[in-house]
Amino acid sequence: MKTEKEILPSIDSPRDLQALSIEQLERLAVEMRRALCTVAGTRTAHFASNLGVVELCIALHRVFDFSRDRLIWDTGHQIYPHKLLTGRFPQFATIRTKGGLMGYPNPAESPYDLFMTGHAGCSVSTALGLASGDGLRGEDDRRSVAVIGDGALPSGIVFEALNNAGFLKKRLLVILNDNKMSICPRVGAVAEYLDLIRTNPWYRGIRDQATELIKGVPMVGESMERMFSNVKDSLKATLHGGMLFEALGVRYFGPVEGHSLPSLIRYLELVKDEDGPILLHVLTEKGHGFKPAAADPVFFHTPAPFECDDDDCIVSIKRSSTRAYTDVAAASIADCLRRDPRVTVLTAAMCQGNKLEKVREEFPDRFFDVGICESHAVAFAAGQAKAGCRPIVDIYSTFLQRSYDQIFQEVCLQNLPVVFMLDRAGLTGPDGPTHHGAFDLGYLRLFPNMAVLAPGDEHDLQAMLDWALEQPGPVAIRYPKSAVAKHDGPRTAIELGRAECLADGHDGLVVACGTLLGEALSAAAELRRDGLEVAVINARFVKPLDTSLLVERCEAAPWVVTVEENALPTGFGSALLEALNDAASQGDQRPTAPLVRLGLPDRFIEHGERAELLADLGLDAAGISAVCRRLAGRAPHAVGHASSMS
């Protein structure tokens, strides 16, 4: 039997799609899904969302020329099919590995990637900006397309952009990729509105038939056109068509079947050259084409590596048995909800990522998923706190940045008891620079009334949450995406602005902020075998600092090293330097001990496994001990790129 030659290896650029028949494009879609399954079988990767946009990606590149036209993929985790069609198939096996392709759009990889996108909701704004900029430069023939999911649609910035697009009337095509999901099933009134459109086929049929009827009437006058327009609007209002978008000045088309290439191509050709902003509503299935992912799109959003047979049945899943800080945080939150009826928990479409599914099931009345709306989540929590509740806002560090003004105005300025749990703080590994929680210590410690804590291990995290819920003002607790550690020996209770000394020594001092405490203790043990006795302090608090202990120990030590998994500018090391400077300005002389700050350098860190990145940045035990040896005169002088001498 003759085997047909594979198409995907021959696709060097989207231009190659033009020579393919519909049948060949459909074969190409099967091959692309096979490539996605191969990657997902070897490492954790975004999977179900990419399966759902294969046909949409093919159709977009068939109809548009994105070597000149503009394409923005919102959030960006569904970029894999786009990479396969834009010359990156030979490198596709390297995706999400150190030195390989990024799992998100990356302009450094391809001119077809315009923005490095990893946060939801920004595609419509940037696509509208591109359309506006092209117009100002006399390039009105360039088309601007944004692909946004229904989970990202309720983000406040999306409606700001649609409102502006309806006013500017620039040529802009917004593809609403509606698969009824974010990571978990979508929530909110907009989701219910889209469900009404999705389940109502009458509007589309009546609209299309009426349009054809009017086209068939010769010499239709303005009055007839106005009448038809009014009838059309009335039908939309009655049958729940796209009135929400039309009211914003954005013309609505759809809904369209998102896995039919002929239908997608026909509709994209229809709207391609239309003037003004248009929203094309495309219905897709998350996980389409792979039965297990379609049946369980939540698990298969970013599944553990798996094996399956020829019938797409899962044979095995390489689940990790390691307990992570996220597990500890979720269990601790559940315990707090059980003990105190005032406690609530809020998340922004990250119930699964924050492992809060059991909390949602056990406490449905006190669990609030607000969708991808971080600013609203924080202001909402402020209102709950003012009413006497004790809200816990559980959001990834990188996403909490989106609510910066609300942290300032609604929480800190009012001094309200909101607890912020910052998951994925520090290096998040293969997700890369859009997701690394590199800046939270700096952006949070600036605010009056805010207490900022960084647990050194599992014990600290549990105790810190209990302590935080007893405080009269806002508290932030940050923890990484990594396996938990628990350090043996006696531990002190959590007290406001109090550190703890876990190892003593007179040859030098290491002050560890956060869960790199384990690396610092390992470095101290290694140095002890070499005859160097180095003290290790678990800082616990970034704000307020334990100035009495830290200043005293820093002044007495021959040298000091601070260690943090945060950007060095405005981080923990900077806070300690400020405290030492303040102490010196009030005393007889300045401390003379050299202080080296180890942390994330002033650049964006690429993707890779967390252990690989820590080693590269000199933040593992080997890197810390090397700096300590240099300061003790045991090694040649060399300052790593992740350190700063003060």
Residues taking part in catalysis? 286, 374, 402
Under the phi-then-psi rule, with left for phi > 0, alpha for psi from -120 to 50, and beta for the rest, what region is 420?
beta
Structure tokens at 425: 């703080």
User: Order of strands, edge to edge, in the sheet holding 144-149?
Assistant: 70-73, 144-149, 172-178, 277-283, 251-257
Beta pairing partners, 280? 175, 253
**Bridge pairing between strands 595-600 and 643-645:** antiparallel
Rounded distance, CA 344 to CA 392, Å?
Answer: 6
**Beta carbons within 10 angstroms of residue 161's beta carbon:** 27
Reference 444, options 517, 542, 373, 512; nearest CA is: 542
Q: Indicate the helix (H) or strand (E) that contains 529.
A: helix 517-529
Beta pairing partners, 541? 453
3-class DSSP assignment, residue 607: coil
First to last CA, the chain: 72
Q: Which long-range contacts (CB under 8 A, 24 or more apart) does 99-103 make?
A: 99/608, 102/432, 102/606, 102/607, 103/45, 103/46, 103/77, 103/79, 103/430, 103/431, 103/432, 103/607
3-class DSSP assignment, residue 134: helix
Whether a cis peptide bond, with omega within 30° of 0, leads into 9 is no
3-class DSSP assignment, residue 27: helix
503, 538, 638 from 506: Cα distances, Å: 11, 17, 23
Rounded distance, CA 499 to CA 493, Å?
Answer: 10
Listed in sequence order, the residues at least 6 apart from 3 whose beta carbon sits closer than 8 Å to its beta carbon are none
Structure tokens at 163: 């409102």
The angle subtended at Cα 348 by Cα 197 and Cα 181, nearest 5°, is: 35
Encode burial over 413-441: b for 16+ CB neighbours within 10 A, e otherwise.
Answer: eeebbbbbbbbbbbbbbbbbbbbbbbbbb
Whether a cis peptide bond, with omega within 30° of 0, leads into 255 is yes
Rounded distance, CA 625 to CA 524, Å?
Answer: 7
Beta pairing partners, 347? 369
